[in-house]
A and B are shown apart, each in its own frame.
Chain A
Amino acid sequence: MSSVNLDQTLNTAAVAHATEHHDEGEHRMFGFIVFLLSESVIFLSFFAGYIVYKTTTPAWLPAGIDGLEVREPLINTIVLVSSSFVIYFAERFLHRENLWGFRAFWLLTMAMGSFFLYGQAVEWAGLPFGFTDGLFGGTFYLLTGFHGLHVLTGVLMQGIMLGRSFIPGNYDDGEVGVAATSLFWHFVDVIWIILFILIYVWQ
């Protein structure tokens, strides 16, 4: 949903007057922030649901399971959170018009995001419970899955921005696409930190 929305936002028909280009970009960024605020409420709703379930369900963990392994997800977390700094450096390079520096750090962010997704897939494959195993299984896969979908969206957006960096004159009218992708990435990170605390730390 988010990638579709962003793409439409970014592809919005250019206005006739060259002077309005800058405004247009600022509108897009503003609109994108409004969208992210709205999107965050879905996560907040899921979090609220998780907290209600966890505090009110008598038999929270399915039979035969005594908790989640934390080590691998912690490595994943560190990688994802660090990538927020990496993408920041990528943006700095772009500001200094060092395109190759931008591309290198941007690609590194994508690699870290992909590593996170891979790590999560490995974790999912090794878990002894499924989506339909009670509220614990349901909320675990719902939260991590919905977040994972956002990570995937972020990586795809980054791929598009990487491709666009090879279009000559792509940044003449500003860097809204890059800024929005980067903001989205920070958003996904913050959500993950809350999610990690709720699911893995608070057991």
Chain B
Amino acid sequence: MTDLTLETALNRDQPTPGEPENWRRFFSFSTDHKVIGIQYIVVAFVFFLIGGFLAMVMRGELITPEADLVDRTVYNALFTMHGTIMLFMWTFPVLNGLANYLVPLQIGARDMAFPRLNAVAFWLVPIFGIILMASFLVPGGPSQSGWWAYPPVSLQNPTGNLINGQFLWILAVALSGISSIMGAVNMVTTIIRMRAPGMTFFKMPAFCWTVAAAQTIQLFGLPALTAGAVMLLFDLTVGTSFFTPETGGDPVLYQHFFWFYSHPAVYVIILPVFGVFSELFPVYARKPLFGYKFVVVSSFVITGLSAIVWVHHMYASGTPSWMRMLFMASTMLISVPTGVKIFAWVATIWGGKLKLSTPMLFALGGLVNFLFAGITGIMLASVPFDVHVNNTYFVVGHFHYVIYGAAVMGIYAAIYHWFPKMTGRMYYEGLGKLHFVLTFIGVNLNFLPMHPLGLMGMPRRVASYDPEFAFWNVLASLGGFLLGVSVLPFLLNMISSWILGEKAPANPWRAIGLEWLVASPPPHENFAEIPTVVAEPYGYGKNEPLIASQMTSTELV
């Protein structure tokens, strides 16, 4: 296609008063939450491709026991950058994008509370992305200390330069933190203060609840990481002794700072995905969300518990045994609110009239993977088991089931589900189903073999391994390449559908929710008149109106 078709294709919809009225608005400092939402999602996806490419190089290295494809130091840089990119530049931004796009529409607001702050928070993402990428170009290459940057490894500076890979890593993570705090302040203010008349908290869609719960974690967790990062930066650059054991510092304290945020950070990722599941299952099963109030409140129970589980990452860090016992118990408690959600979703689907279209398939696949990840999570919470498999591939397998198997699949589900709303076009169902099949098989082929590998004792973060581990590694690598391939139908689908897809009606899924009452894509101001909400969400089969001016919900299906 030529640039001209792309331009006319994107130009057609979504007039944006006072903004450049064409595709250029996506490259502008737009303050429209819908533009910013799409900006977040697209930029994040670019980083997902980069991070995925790094992962495939690693899987290429691991397909044979010898370290033959890349140098060992390059391998260290690869896993460091892969982890950092996937967390700070893919999952956080893409979920921020979804929340940005959906929350104001779902709560009946015209925009976020602070539109300019919103744009600044977004534009920091490409900036710190470029800073992190620049570490490939500095002498010595990127940081090799892993995404958690434990001292004393992260304090070694073999090249002696001030601007080194680790320095750029800390800078990028700090900027990411500033961006996330701005986003969190904005999101929490928006959800608490900008809801449409009648939308009490218990009439608010579950996605907004989970976003609020996730952003609350950012607010109390990120500052702790920032504190640790500041001290690490001073150790690295001016030679203070906070974390250097040889001058009396305490490297374990860094681990506390780091995990106090970075364990809850996985709930920042998974909570909005729980919200997506809670939104999608009722739509595609044509039933109300089972136990709506328990589902939404359990999100905040997870937020609360998330602040008191971080030491389970440090069972092997010389932690006193009373602390291990305490954190083992608190970690296992997490399974209660997550279990509440899983049972509620299953009960929602149970006996429903299921429509197995692409978003539903991704949501179901994500649910299955999450259940598996939850079971291995309980295993890892237990001290004796964790000490045994600590730093092995079992841990890698567990969190990839969470982050790819559940979170990324949930993100895909959300992108497909709201694609007609965002672009005004329908996606191709066939390509979507192909994407699902490749992704689901790829996830399980890639990450399931990591569990036996971990139980056999294969350590993580190594470029070479004993030949006895070869069989499972070959399977995992094939799964990894399959995941790489799985992105192709998705990209093809998204690009071609946005340009050539069938026009989408306002409510193609017969879904109930404020975002489905406005045109696809929504007009600049979202709502001609701010609606008054009169019912709980998910009134499927109840035949009751959602907003005051509607007669019944049948009117909108």
Contact = CB atoms under 8 A, between A and B. Distances in A.
A in complex with B: yes
Interface of A: 1, 5, 8-9, 11-13, 23, 26-28, 30-31, 34-35, 37-42, 44-46, 49, 52-53, 56-59, 131-132, 134-135, 137-139, 142, 146
B31 interface: yes
Contacts of B120: 8
Contacts of B241: 132, 134-135, 138
Given A8-B120, A45-B227, A138-B242, A53 B250 contact: yes
B242 A135 contact: yes
B6 interface: no
B223 A9 contact: no
B222 A13 contact: no
Contact of A13 (B116, B234, B250, B260): B116
Contacts of A56: 250
A27 B181 contact: no
B193 A26 contact: yes
Contacts of B178: 1
A41 B182 contact: no
B239 to A, nearest CB: 5
Contact of B182 (A5, A26, A52, A139): A5
Given A31-B114, A31-B185, A37 B226 contact: no
A28 B231 CA distance: 31
B123 to A, nearest CB: 12
15 contacts: A8-B116, A27-B189, A34-B219, A35-B185, A37-B220, A41-B223, A42-B227, A45-B224, A45-B228, A45-B257, A46-B227, A49-B227, A132-B239, A142-B234, A146-B230
Interface in B221-268: 221-224, 226-228, 230-231, 234, 238-242, 247-250, 253, 257, 260
Contacts, number: 113
Contact of B224 (A11, A12, A41, A132): A41
B245 to A, nearest CB: 11
Nearest to A27: B113
Interface residues of B, number: 42
A139 to B, nearest CB: 8
Nearest to A28: B114
B176 to A, nearest CB: 13
Given A49-B257, A142-B234, A12 B114 contact: yes
A37 B116 CA distance: 21
Main secondary structure of the interface of B (DSSP, over half): helix
Contact of B117 (A8, A58, A146): A8
B49 interface: no
B60 interface: no
B226 to A, nearest CB: 6
B519 interface: no
B411 to A, nearest CB: 25
Contacts of B240: 131-132, 137-138, 142
A63 B189 CA distance: 50
Identify the 5 closest CB pairs spanning chains A and B, nearest first.
A45-B227, A41-B223, A42-B223, A31-B189, A138-B240
Contacts of A8: 114, 116-117, 120, 182
Contacts of A26: 193
Nearest to B247: A134
A59 B247 CA distance: 11
A26 B113 CA distance: 10
B488 interface: no
A45 B253 contact: no
Interface string B69-82: 00000000000000
A187 to B, nearest CB: 14
A46 B224 CA distance: 8
Contact of B248 (A23, A28, A30, A57): A57
A139 B253 CA distance: 13
Given A56-B250, A135-B248, A138-B242, A31 B116 contact: no
B470 interface: no
A13 B118 CA distance: 11
Contacts of B249: 135
